[in-house]
Structure 1
């Protein structure tokens, strides 16, 4: 697997996880539970967006994130 990029936007309270080139996004598809799949022109999922992260996960302060590459 290539590079995975994670962005958190505090203003919109969204978390984006990209495992494809974000510039290739042409379609967004709601998947339920405030999750959006971001797809390229072939329909392949290249990213995931989680809406209302702090509210949904009941986070009121910064948390640590561990990244494991296997």
Structure 2
């Protein structure tokens, strides 16, 4: 099982979340809510990109983050 990867692009103001290997990206689908689903060649969602992640100057290092393994 792949690790979940989070990438924040400060200049583009986007957050990318990957559930699988980014190299498997085949096609993207816009949802209309500033979210782009990233799919592999079988149509399985392997990640997403959130556009306009912050609407103000927020320090990403100060965000609360919680993770759990279930």
TM range (shorter): 0.7 to 0.9
The aligned counterpart of 2:57 is: 60
CA distance in 2, matches of 1:49, 1:3: 17
TM-score, normalization by structure 1: 0.84
Q: In angstroms, what is the RMSD of aligned CA positions?
A: 1.4
Give the ranges of 4+ consecutive aligned residues of structure 1 lying more than 6 Å apart after TM superposition: none
TM-score, normalization by structure 2: 0.84
Structure 2: which 5+ runs fail to align?
none
What residue ranges of structure 1 are gaps of 5+ in the alignment?
A: none
The number of residue pairs the alignment matches comes to 67
